[in-house]
Structure 1
Amino acid sequence: MWLPAQVRKISGHDLVIRLDEKPNVERLKTMYSGDLSKVYAKVDLVDPRKARPKQRALFFALLNDIWDWTGYPQSDMKSYFYNEYQRKTYGLSISLKDESDTTVSEANLLINIVLEFMFDWNVPFKQGYELLPKEESYYMYLCCKYRKCAICGKHADIHHVNGDTVGSGGNRNHVDHSKRHVIALCRVHHSEAHKIGQKEFSEKYHLPMSGIKLDVETLKLIGIRGNYEEETR
């Protein structure tokens, strides 16, 4: 039973919601065998923002990068990724036409699917590189997962940032890295960040140096050893 509603108040884990129309109580009674003391609901918070022209430009620039690397026509790759989006969203369709109702969040999901494909198959970024969403946490996550420098795409190390660095006397194998902020940088760009400072480095490359946190499964997958006993109990 899908019902349109508006959120009137948000407080911690509590939402105050007003439905646009009255629910069918009799149907609810049928669903819950007459006991309405605990009715469960799924809340889908709607993104009111319409997809940006920059997102459309990035999507097609990335398709051009894939075309340069594979030789597959852009139209074929477009259909492939639209189908992948539909598969991941259990049948929802998407369009990046100007007149479509696609939201920013939906367009981001589509772009993330393309980025995952390119990282997984090591497709080089050419036309799309300048448009890469370096401020997006999922891009930062992919750089860490596939050990790609967030600046240049070369092989990267996983570095702690934002005051979460491991001291020179510290043992990285005894650290719970899932509780620290990290970023993927090649040694050249990592050295530059230390040399000119994080603020100037961030402004130069339009890259937030706040980093992201990785879950234990991802850290183990990419070979970052540490003390994760608390996470695995």
Structure 2
Amino acid sequence: MTDAAPLLRALIVDDETLARANLAFLLARDPAIRVVGQCGSADEALAAIGGMRPDLVFLDIEMPECDGFELLERIGPSPAFAVVFVTAHNQFALRAFEVGALDYLLKPFDDRRFARVLERAKERLRVPGEQQRFIVKNGATLDVVRFADIDWIEASDYYSTLHAGGRAHMLRRSLAELETLLATHGFHRVHRSAIVNLDRLRALEIREDGEYEAVLASGQRLRMSRRYRKAVLERLQAGEVARPLRGG
């Protein structure tokens, strides 16, 4: 029997070697956490975050050249991870929560304080198995948007907009990246600028001009391009998600 895969991928960003080592030691004691990397500067973190795909980043605030807040600004709104700021200065606490930090660790902290912070993070982010949610910054809070709750996704320049439960969430990830990530979760592209959750699809209407329109449970209608039609129909027929309806 093999051990279950770690639930949360953690990245440590701190310019102090001892501080990184201390965090790594504390995180290693929790079997639900996998430390995927340690970075000694914001530039190093910027180069590594995309490949490491962390769920949770322990981020120092005061670092040479670029501090923790500047790092988040360079990454852009709605990063695909939650942040716990780690700092020796309490004057940054308010600003940390204003930018949507999950929590704030003031150095030096004891094991009990760290354990409370980590438990809150796990409760907020925990999902069975692989990642099945996005962390989206919304003002001073972080919204957890589950894949299953998403109706459809549209391209928005260098971002993507998640439409879920009547709300729109902007995510700094390309539609091509999301298409690959969500392909095994029941999503499929229907147009060069739109991906649909097939569980939310209620009908495919064939218009008078022969083009298809995807009709979602929410009532949203999305044009389906011929390029993606065959693949969508094959997935629908295989899963019996919906039947094409003539009309409109």
Quick check: which one's strand share is greater? 2
Q: Is TM more than 0.5 here?
A: no
Structure of greater relative contact order (alpha carbons < 8 Å, 6+ residues apart)? 1
TM category, shorter: under 0.3
Quick check: which one's helix share is greater? 1
